[in-house]
Amino acid sequence: MDAAIRLFKGLPQPLPWIEPSINMMHLEVVLSYVFGAHIAAIIAEGVLLEHVLRMAVIDPVNSGINRRVSKTKLNKYRSISDIIKNQELRPLILKLMDGDETNLTWWKEIAAILRNKSAHMIINDMLRKFGTKNYLGKQFLDYIDTDPPGQWGFLWHRYGQLVSERFISEGTKQIVTIIRNTEWKPDEHWWISQKDYYESFFKFDWSLEEMQKSIAKFL
């Protein structure tokens, strides 16, 4: 409980409600992080990033129940790299990213890890991306910039928490930017209960007393 309270405080502001495929996935990301499943949080964040970018490129106007996306359109771009490297999409992509080349560079670096859709991530690539002084800071350099076995396990120490915290924070910022540059509207058709559940996680008073009260209801 103490760890969950502490980790909750490190979360960025929640994504605005759009639809379950975005927000409930974001909830799984932060749930994993708060309860210590940091590798799961990193992978789920990667899936969410790719999903949001793909949907924004395919249809930046409609969201939720109003979106009609064929299987052909879904399969047109096989990875984040395919989307980012597509010159025809470049004007739209830059618009989605506030016209900021720095944002685009961030996505290119993530795309090098997310090889294909559906969370195809390679541990070695994750280690190379996250296990550097550029990502964690010089204080970790002696530990993580060494040959295995040190590097192979660093994500399962406190470093995993630090990596996931930063990745979630950066990823959430990028997703908010994309949402802001679409015409997507919050969709509550059929999903008002999921919206309530999503928002209740962030509204909950993550204190020891309130957590104990919550658990006591089921005893």
Task: Tell me the pTM.
Answer: 0.85
Distance, in Å, from the CA atom of 190 to the CA atom of 167, rounded to the nearest integer, reads: 31
pLDDT at 204: 93
32 sits in which H/E element: helix 20-34
Structure tokens at 19: 């639809």
β-strand partners of 121: 114
Give residue-wise pLDDT tens across range 172-192: 999 999 999 999 999 888 889
Give residue-wise pLDDT tens across range 136-153: 665 555 555 555 545 677
pLDDT at 23: 97
Burial 121-142 (b: 16+ CB within 10 A, else e): beeeebbebbbeeebbeeebee
pLDDT, mean over the chain: 85
Most confident of 24-33, 42-51, 84-93, 146-155: 24-33
Work out the number of other CB atoms within 10 angstroms of the CB of residue 148: 8
Distance, in Å, from the CA atom of 83 to the CA atom of 50, rounded to the nearest integer, reads: 10
Give residue-wise pLDDT tens across range 98-136: 999 999 999 988 887 776 555 566 666 676 667 666 666
Give residue-wise pLDDT tens across range 189-205: 888 999 999 999 999 99
